[in-house]
Each structure stands twice: as structure tokens, then as C-alpha cells.
């Protein structure tokens, strides 16, 4: 590692804890020249006291020490600062220590004797990461300041393909002195300042007409001739054929910033990079608005600070009526503590589909992306919610799913009727499969899909000749080979339809005669090679079939069925699923009772 690479440690305050005096003195002598401050302690208790008196950037500690060992000290430090970067040093290459370190979230673990160059490399890596996080934190604090600036300055305009104004918000009328009636239908370029070159404005508009986004500074004039400088973003809205049907313009008033650099520096209180930082924020803020979705801003307690017109109208409110309203009153699942977690970790904004309630009580569904704006100590002060109304599309999806469900059940019943089995069999297989899926640990949505898809497990029987399908008694070898083809036939029929439920049904049709020991058909899959859906329906199908009359057999009693399942546990059936059948036997028998053959 080069000396330049280690220079990143110069601003770091390091705590080093080691009980062996000789080792402590030697290693401290090697670390101290590279860091800003090195505090040294001889045991965990003394180290914890030093840490509490002034938190350190990096902690380096031995594990085995008297009074308080290094891991206990680290656990106490984590109570004070859950993100504290720590390097563990140990002469004991013991797995227990490593697991405990992992539980504490410590990822740096170096065995003794310590290679000093390696240790310094690790410290430098940590230092670079810390500096990066601090820089991000500084930007976040700036974002909070700029958010207010942007909200105060936002000017929204829409234009037709010829550049004539079709909509303006109140901010434009306030700043220009024109009333709304004067602005609607006006050519946008008529608002340009007299010294703004016409060729430049023409080039900007040509780019927008060509479907290209444009961003930059434009000088306008008010009705009484005063200068109005804006930072403008033009976003063309295209139709299905790629033609521009409308242009969305978002302007931010930067007249004061443009006119007086001294005012800018005082307002931002930052270095010469502040203007670029502000532009970065404004760009991000405008990108959010460019999505055409609804915006709401709330404080850390979940009270609405401001919202745009789109958000208010979707919920049946006026913008001013939303101010001060608790988010939880319209979004019951709102939880600011969990929603801020991603941002505190420096990750991208989180996104959730949540129920949102209209003023009249109607239930809506929004996809909500949120970004926390943090204060200087890293705590959320406010949160921006970018919302997209999915209500109509989700209702359409639900209708499609209901239609698929009905069709699948109908087809399953038709197949069972052709094979001279009752439609109740497919219902029972579906319900038993859902119960086993839930007990296996699958989520409710997944289990419901299995219940709906399971009735099509034997759809391939439509390709089996009647004399084989309806033969009383046992099939001979050649007949059984024909019967076995129904698994592949069903798969080939269903795989042509690219819908989630039907895709799952095709998988079940293909695999419900595979065996856990690999002796099944059509592919001889084994164990986990068989999908969980196939394994579940396999046991549900056999369990129900054994208990009911068929052309080739009489129904079995419960004891005989249980003995059969136990015998084939781990051979024909997944052993865990057999255990789940026995554990839920009464519920399964209840399903059989509810859906009895007519």
C-alpha cells in the first residue's frame, strides 16, 4: 500500500484496546503516526470508558482480555453506535468468536500475529468508507435546505406541440404578474427576456418537439418588464407512435441566485461546490415530478407539510386541506420508523404498494416510493412520497385473476368428468394443497395460486383413449405407458399460455407423478429437483384418490391411507409433507367432509 493511500487515515480518531503490554506498545507505535488521534486502553472496560468520553471513528480491539473481553465491549459500543466500524484482533482462530462477531455486525477480523501492513490497509478502507458516508450526510443536509427552496420556487407549465401554454400553476401567475386567462394560449417564448437570443429559444423548442428532454437556465420577464431567471426542465410527453402530444415544463425561480452570488453563498453557507450540489438536488427533485405521479412531503412524525395538486385531487382534498393532516389517517400502514431504515443505510429509496383512503372512504392502491431527508446526525427530518395510483390496474388484474381461476376450475372439472371422477376431487386437491402449502411455510398468495392451479394436474388425460382411461381394473404394462403420457401432454397444452397461474398449472401437470426417490415419471426428477408445487399436489392427489371410489378400486379407510403414506415417506412423497399431512390430519379430513361427492 502506498503512503498516499494511507493518508486517508490522517483525520481519523482510533481507539486501540489490548491487554498484552508488549503487543499494545508495539502496535500502537505503528498505528499512531498515521492517524489523527490514537487512544489506548488495556481492557474492555477501560476501552468502553474512553469510547463513551468521545466517540471514535474506528475501534481496534483484542478479544481475550481481563475485566471485560473485546466482544462484550463491542456489544456495549453497539448500544451507543450501532454502525461503529470495528476491527477484531485475536490469536484464537475459534469459530465461536467469529460467529459472535458476525452477530454483532463486525466484518473485520484479523488473527495474530498482526501483519501491520494488512491492518493499516483495513483501517484505510474503513476510513475511505466513513469519509464517503460523511460526504453523503452533508449532501443530505443540503437536500433538506434545497427542498424548501425548490418547493417555494416550483413553476409548472404544460404546452401543446406548438409551444402554446395549456396550463399554468399559481406560482407562474404570481411571479409574472399575468393572470391565468392571459397566459393560456400564449406562445411560451413571448415570456422570454429581450436579451434572450431568439435562436437559442428556437433551438430549445426544436429539441422538445423532437422528443428530447432539455434542462438549462432561461431568462424571462414579468408583465412589468422585470427580470425573472428560471432553471428550466422541458419533458416531452409522447403518444404510442412516439409523437409529442404535450410538453411538461418545470421551472425553479433562481433570480436572486442569478443576480447575487453573495446572497447565494450566505444562503447555502457552503464551499464553491454548493451551486453544483444545489443543481444536483434540483435535478433529482425535477426527475420525481417528471414521472407524472403525485408528490407528498411529511415531517418525521408523519404530518403532511405539503402536497402537489395531483396528490390532493386523487384523494378528493384541496391542497391546503392536507397541511397538518396525519399520513396514517389516509395511509393506515404508514410507519416512519421502518420507512426511514433504507435511507439511514445509504440505500436507494424504498417502494411499497399500500392501501390509501379517499376523502369519501373509497379504498385506493398507490405504489409509493419514499426518500428520507436526514439532519446532520443522520435522523429523518422529513420524507418525500412519490405516489402512483395503481387502483384501476390492480382491479383489472384482480378481474383477470378471477377469470383465470374460474376457467381453470372449469377445465379441471371437465377433465375429471371425462375420467369418470367427480368435480369435487379437483376442489379437494386444491384445498388440501393450499393447506399444505401454508403449513410448509409458503405465503398466502403463493398458496392461493397452488390451490387454483392444482385442479389442472390431470388435464393431459384429454389425450388418453377412453378404453384405457375408463378401464376397470389394473392397466397392463403397455396401457400404463400410454397413461403415463398424460403428464407430458398436460404440460405441453398449458405451457403455451404465458400467464402466472397457467404456468404454475403446467409445472404441476408435468411433475405431479414424479417421486421423491427419483423413480417417478416423466423425467425421473428427485427430491428438491421437483418443484414444491409438484410435490404438494402429488401427495394431495394420491391422498384424496385413495379415500374415494375409482373404476379400478374401492375407497380405503383412514388407517390404511395413513399406513400407505408412512410406507412411502421419503420414497414416493416428500417426508416433510407426509409429516405435515399427519400433523394436520383432522383439517384435511374436514376438507374431505365439506366437498363430498354428489
The pTM for the full model equals: 0.39
Closest CA to 128 of 117, 139, 136: 136
Contact yes or no for 191/170 (Cβ under 8 A): no
Tell which residue, 497, 496, 492, 506, has the closest CA to residue 454: 506
Q: What order do you get walking across the sheet with 363-374 strand by strand? A: 304-307, 294-299, 380-389, 363-374, 350-357
* Among the four given CATH numbers 3.40.640.10, 1.10.3210.10, 3.90.190.20, 3.40.50.10190, the one describing domain 395-594: 1.10.3210.10
Show me where the domains of the chain are located. Answer: 3-141, 160-271, 293-389, 395-594
Give the integer Cα–Cα distance in Å for 432 and 435.
5
Q: Give Cα separations from 67 to 1, 42, 64, 493, 562 (angstroms).
A: 36, 10, 10, 72, 60
* Bridge partner list, 304: 298
Q: What angle do CA 238, 240, 245 make, to 5 degrees?
A: 35
d(CA 26, CA 108): 21
CA 5 to chain centre: 36
CA pair distance 221, 165, nearest whole angstrom:
16
Helix (H, G, I), strand (E, B) or coil at 223: coil
Q: Does 293-389 match 160-271 at the fold level?
A: yes
Look up the CATH superfamily of 3-141. Answer: Response regulator (3.40.50.2300)
CA-to-CA distance for 13 and 9, rounded, in angstroms?
Answer: 9
DSSP-derived secondary structure for 279-300: HHHHHHHHHHHHTT-EEEEEET
Residue 103 CB-density burial (10 A; 0-12 exposed, 13-18 middle, 19+ buried):
exposed
Q: 3-state SS of 326-354?
A: EHHHCCCCCCHHHHCHHHHCCCCCEEEEE
Query: Under a CB-based contact definition with an 8 Å cutoff, are residues 81 and 108 in contact?
Result: no
With CA atoms as reference, report the closest residue to 73 among 100, 93, 95, 36: 100
- CATH number given to 293-389: 3.30.450.20
Is 160-271 a CATH 3.40.50.1370 domain?
Answer: no
Q: What angle do CA 565, 566, 571 make, to 5 degrees?
A: 80
Output the tens digit of pLDDT for each of the chain's 598 residues. Answer: 566 778 888 889 999 999 989 888 989 998 988 888 899 999 999 999 999 887 788 999 988 888 888 888 988 998 888 888 888 887 755 555 665 666 676 767 787 888 888 888 888 888 888 887 777 666 555 545 544 444 444 687 888 988 899 888 778 888 899 998 899 999 988 898 888 888 888 888 888 888 888 888 888 899 888 888 888 888 888 776 778 888 888 887 777 766 643 333 333 343 333 445 445 544 544 444 444 457 788 888 888 887 888 888 889 998 888 888 988 889 888 776 655 443 443 333 456 778 889 988 888 888 787 766 666 566 666 777 878 777 776 665 555 555 455 555 555 555 555 544 545 788 899 899 999 999 999 888 889 889 888 888 888 887 788 788 778 778 888 989 999 998 988 888 777 766 677 788 889 999 999 999 999 999 999 998 999 999 999 999 999 888 876 655 678 999 999 999 999 999 999 999 999 999 999 999 999 888 876 5
Amino acid at each position: 500500500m502506498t503512503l498516499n493511500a494511507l493518508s486517508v487515515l490522517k483525520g481519523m480518531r482510533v481507539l486501540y484496546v489490548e491487554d498484552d503490554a508488549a503487543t499494545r506498545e508495539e502496535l500502537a507505535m505503528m498505528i499512531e503516526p498515521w492517524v489523527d488521534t490514537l487512544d489506548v486502553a488495556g481492557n474492555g472496560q477501560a476501552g468502553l470508558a474512553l469510547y463513551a468520553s468521545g466517540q471514535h471513528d474506528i475501534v481496534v480491539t483484542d478479544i481475550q482480555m481481563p475485566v471485560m473481553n473485546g466482544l462484550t465491549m463491542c456489544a456495549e459500543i453497539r448500544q451507543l453506535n450501532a454502525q461503529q466500524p470495528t476491527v477484531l484482533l485475536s490469536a484464537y482462530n475459534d469459530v465461536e468468536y467469529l460467529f459472535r462477531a458476525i452477530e454483532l455486525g463486525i466484518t473485520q477480523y484479523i488473527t495474530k500475529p498482526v501483519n501491520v501492513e494488512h491492518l493499516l490497509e483495513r483501517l484505510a478502507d474503513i476510513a475511505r468508507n466513513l469519509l464517503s458516508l460523511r460526504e453523503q450526510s452533508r449532501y443530505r443536509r443540503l437536500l433538506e435546505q434545497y427542498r424548501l427552496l425548490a418547493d417555494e420556487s416550483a413553476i409548472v407549465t404544460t404546452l401543446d406541440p406548438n409551444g402554446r401554454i395549456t396550463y399554468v400553476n399559481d406560482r407562474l401567475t404570481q411571479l409574472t404578474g399575468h393572470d391565468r386567462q392571459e397566459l393560456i394560449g400564449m406562445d411560451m417564448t413571448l415570456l422570454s427576456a429581450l436579451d434572450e437570443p431568439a435562436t437559442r429559444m428556437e433551438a430549445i423548442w426544436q429539441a422538445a418537439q423532437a422528443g428530447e428532454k432539455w434542462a438549462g437556465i432561461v431568462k424571462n420577464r414579468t408583465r412589468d418588464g422585470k427580470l425573472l431567471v428560471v432553471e428550466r426542465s422541458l419533458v416531452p410527453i409522447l403518444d404510442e407512435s412516439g409523437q409529442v402530444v404535450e410538453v411538461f415544463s418545470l421551472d425553479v425561480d433562481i433570480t436572486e441566485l442569478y443576480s447575487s452570488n453573495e446572497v447565494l453563498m450566505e444562503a447555502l453557507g457552503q464551499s464553491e461546490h454548493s451551486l453544483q450540489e444545489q443543481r444536483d438536488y434540483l435535478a433529482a427533485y425535477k426527475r420525481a415530478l417528471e414521472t407524472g405521479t403525485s408528490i407528498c412531503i411529511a415531517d418525521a412524525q408523519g404530518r403532511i407539510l405539503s402536497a402537489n395538486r395531483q396528490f390532493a385531487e386523487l384523494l378528493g382534498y384541496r391542497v391546503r386541506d392536507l397541511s397538518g393532516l396525519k399520513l396514517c389517517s389516509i395511509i393506515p400502514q404508514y410507519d416512519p420508523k421502518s420507512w426511514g431504515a433504507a435511507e439511514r443505510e445509504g440505500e436507494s429509496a424504498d417502494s411499497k404498494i399500500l392501501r390509501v383512503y379517499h376523502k369519501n372512504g373509497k379504498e385506493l392502491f398507490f405504489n409509493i416510493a419514499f426518500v428520507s431527508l436526514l439532519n446532520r446526525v443522520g435522523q429523518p427530518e422529513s420524507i418525500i412520497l412519490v405516489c402512483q395510483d395503481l387502483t384501476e390496474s390492480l382491479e383489472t388484474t384482480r378481474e383477470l385473476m378471477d377469470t383465470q381461476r374460474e376457467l381453470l376450475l372449469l377445465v379441471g372439472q371437465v377433465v375429471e368428468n371425462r375420467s369418470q371422477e367427480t368435480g369435487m376431487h379437483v376442489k379437494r386437491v386444491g384445498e388440501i394443497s393450499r393447506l399444505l402449502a401454508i403449513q410448509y411455510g409458503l405465503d398466502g398468495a403463493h398458496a392461493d395460486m397452488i390451490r387454483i392451479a392444482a385442479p389442472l394436474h390431470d388435464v393431459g388425460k384429454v389425450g388418453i383413449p377412453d378404453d384405457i382411461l375408463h378401464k376397470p381394473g389394473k392397466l397392463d404394462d403397455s396401457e400404463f405407458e400410454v397413461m403415463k403420457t398424460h403428464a407430458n401432454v398436460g404440460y405441453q397444452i398449458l405451457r403455451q399460455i404465458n400467464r402466472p397461474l397457467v404456468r404454475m398449472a403446467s409445472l404441476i401437470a408435468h411433475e405431479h407423478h414424479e417421486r421423491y426417490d427419483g423413480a417417478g415419471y416423466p423425467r425421473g426428477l428427485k427430491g428438491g429437483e421437483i418443484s414444491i408445487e409438484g410435490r404438494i399436489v402429488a401427495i394431495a392427489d394420491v391422498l384424496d384418490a385413495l379415500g374415494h371410489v375409482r373404476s379400478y378400486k374401492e375407497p380405503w379407510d383412514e388407517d390404511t391411507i395413513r399406513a400407505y403414506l408412512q410406507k412411502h415417506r421419503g420414497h414416493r412423497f416428500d417426508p416433510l409433507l407426509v409429516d405435515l399431512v399427519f400433523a394436520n390430519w383432522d383439517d384435511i379430513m374436514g376438507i374431505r367432509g365439506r366437498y363430498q361427492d354428489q
